[in-house]
Amino acid sequence: MKIRHSEHREQVALQMTPMIDIVFQLMVFFVFTFKITLPEGDFNVRMPAESGVAAVPSETPLLKVRLRADEHRNLAGLELGDVQITGTNPFFELQSKIRGMADDSAGPGSVDQEVEIESDYNLKYRYVMNAMTAITGYIDPATGERHKLIEKVRFAPLSARRE
């Protein structure tokens, strides 16, 4: 028996038009909602309003970091407690000192130290962010791992008004 080959293959024309319509609609939507956003991150600070005297006196004394501004609103001086921090990269020095002080050998988050940042009114905010970075942690240059130092940071109450 001979099977007849149906050479006569019919061209099934797919209806492309509706699909392309929808695809274009979708593409226009996504193109218009496309927004380039740089990744942002937060420093979380818990600063309840102080009700007179501190309720629970902490065992560890409060560390004070003082930032001074020059006339161009740049950083003029950095102090940790009574110690003046100098050098070309004061924030790195600050971080090294805090690393020496905050013994995080018991594991991350084991440090129960509190830092108060006191800054001149006119200082550029970026220096405060640098100080926050130096205080709260560091990234191990070898492994790229993130280590926490002192998490509890607060601002000193504003005393010096704008001059």
Partner 1 sequence: MRFASRQAPGAEPDMTPMIDIVFQMLAFFMFTINLSTNETDQRVTLPASELAKPPDAPYDHPLTIHLTEKGEYIYAGAALANLAELRSALLREKQIIERYAVEKLEDVTIVIRADEDAQTGLVQEIIQLCQELQFERFALRGKQSEVRTVSQ
Residue numbers at the binding site for partner 1 (CB under 8 A) = 16, 20, 23-24, 26-27, 30-31, 33-35, 37-50, 67, 73, 89, 91-92, 95, 119-130, 132-134, 136-139, 141, 146, 155, 157-158, 160, 162
Assigned token pair, 123? 């200082």
Identity of the residue, 22 or 83, whose beta carbon is nearer to partner 1 in the bound complex: 22
Residue 150 CA to residue 104 CA, distance in Å, equals 9
Smallest separation (angstroms) from partner 1 to the CB of 2: 33
Identity of the residue, 42 or 82, whose beta carbon is nearer to partner 1 in the bound complex: 42
The interaxial angle of helices 125-136 and 90-101, nearest 10 deg, is 30
Smallest separation (angstroms) from partner 1 to the CB of 151: 11
Smallest separation (angstroms) from partner 1 to the CB of 84: 18
> Tokens 């309003």 label which residue?
49
Smallest separation (angstroms) from partner 1 to the CB of 4: 27
In angstroms, the first-to-last Cα distance of the chain is 108
Residue 20 CA to residue 102 CA, distance in Å, equals 62
Smallest separation (angstroms) from partner 1 to the CB of 1: 37
Report whether 68 contacts 120 (CB < 8 A): yes
Residue 126 CA to residue 115 CA, distance in Å, equals 18
Identity of the residue, 113 or 136, whose beta carbon is nearer to partner 1 in the bound complex: 136
Q: Residue 117's closest CA among 40, 43, 41, 51?
A: 43
